[in-house]
Chain A
């Protein structure tokens, strides 16, 4: 991975970002944070609807219709800006424990979102009448929100990978 990161850092898009890093990296990171904000707002609202703490005058389907497209769009924005950050600073991103744990959680978080939206579309009445009142579904809503909270923590910890001690590949060198 270190070899790959070093190779990536010699490619021309990477060199371009490195040469303009006084503005390029902060701007890309800021757009990434705006994307995270859209994800957090959308996930919070859908989860609050499942918990029955907000949007109770709307059906679950109406709530996901409102926030689902924003959630999906923001995740694509995060993918694009995230890839740009990896291209711009390959070693800093890829040679960390935080980054790979974050990617694993992102995969789980995105999978939960896709499975949930599909299940809701297929069994809409069952969800509206029964499942939304189900305790384990409410627990799952809280867990989902906490997964995204952990993803934010890990994203920020990429800059502080030493907190993982010997788990951090950059500490082992």
Chain B
């Protein structure tokens, strides 16, 4: 079974068809995805800023991590589930989208970055748990983490601007009427994002 037929099978599943046919499903799934990802980044940022010595420096790292990381994982599970649901509605298009691929690659990098931390700096946590910041490698991991997750957000947002969900009937975009009204010249470049999800 090649990838094309897997992608095709995914977007023909009942679930994918139901989401595509519903007026409400995709917007609600996408909104839930935003809630999940903002909680992922919002909680990870607290951890990273602690490692960098920029915030929460009066708390032990272990206590902070115990307070926060369980929520990060719940939020990540919500993001992954809703992201998968969005993916199957138009699997082939997303699969070939450069920003989608970049985002998935960045998520793998984030996982590797986390593993580096768990296998090195975290093993010696007893030595720096109450220090204002982590050892150099821990600080590097935290800085890389912040950069990766912000890039995940940017690439994720770009997916919405560079893909179309042709099968979903949509009302005529208001912007088009506006351009006609104002007589804006077409400049050859794609003047308006093609996805209604922008």
Chain A residues within CB distance 8 Å of chain B: 6, 9-10, 18-19, 21-22, 25-27, 29-30, 33-34, 36-42, 44-45, 48, 54-55, 57-58, 62, 66, 70, 89, 91-92, 95, 149, 152-153, 155-157, 159-160, 162-163, 170-171
Q: Is the CB of A171 within 8 A of B171?
A: yes
By DSSP majority rule, is chain B's interface helix, strand, loop, or mixed? Answer: helix
Task: Give the size category of B's interface with A.
Answer: 35 or more
- Is B191 positioned at the interface, with any CB of A under 8 Å from its CB? yes
Q: Is the CB of A162 within 8 A of B23?
A: yes
Given contacts A25-B193, A36-B38, A162-B23, 13 further A-B contacts (CB under 8 A): A10-B182, A18-B184, A22-B189, A25-B161, A26-B193, A30-B150, A34-B41, A37-B37, A41-B43, A44-B43, A57-B63, A160-B197, A162-B171
B55-70 to A contact mask, C-beta < 8 Å, 1/0? 1101100010001100
Chain A residues with CB under 8 Å of B37's CB are 33, 37
Q: Is the CB of B171 within 8 A of A170?
A: yes
Residue from A22, A155, A163 within 8 A of B23 (CB atoms)? A163
Q: Is the CB of B38 within 8 A of A159?
A: no
Interface centre among A29, A58, A92, A160 (most CB of B within 10 A): A160
Chain A residues with CB under 8 Å of B28's CB are 153
Query: How many whole Å from B173's CB to the nearest CB in chain A?
Result: 8
Q: Is the CB of A6 within 8 A of B181?
A: yes
By DSSP majority rule, is chain A's interface helix, strand, loop, or mixed? Answer: helix
- Is B92 positioned at the interface, with any CB of A under 8 Å from its CB? no
> Which B152-198 residues have C-beta < 8 A from chain A?
153-154, 157-158, 161, 170-171, 174-175, 178, 181-182, 184, 187, 189-193, 196-198
Residue from B23, B34, B45, B55 within 8 A of A156 (CB atoms)? B34
Instruction: Tell me the bound Cα distance from A40 to B150 in angstroms.
Output: 15
Chain A, Cβ-Cβ closest to B22: A163
Instruction: Tell me the bound Cα distance from A66 to B54 in angstroms.
Output: 11
- How many residue-residue contacts, CB under 8 A, span A and B? 121
Q: Is the CB of A33 within 8 A of B178?
A: no
Can you sample 30 A-B contacts with CB below 8 Å? A6-B178, A21-B191, A25-B161, A26-B157, A26-B193, A26-B198, A27-B154, A30-B157, A33-B34, A33-B37, A33-B38, A33-B153, A34-B150, A37-B38, A37-B41, A39-B38, A41-B39, A41-B41, A41-B42, A41-B43, A44-B71, A57-B59, A66-B56, A91-B174, A92-B174, A95-B174, A152-B38, A156-B30, A156-B31, A159-B196
Query: How many whole Å from A66's CB to the nearest CB in chain B?
Result: 6
Q: Is the CB of B174 within 8 A of A170?
A: yes
Chain A residues with CB under 8 Å of B154's CB are 26-27, 30
> Which B56-115 residues have C-beta < 8 A from chain A?
56, 58-59, 63, 67-68, 71
Instruction: Tell me the bound Cα distance from A42 to B41 in angstroms.
Output: 11
- Is B136 positioned at the interface, with any CB of A under 8 Å from its CB? no
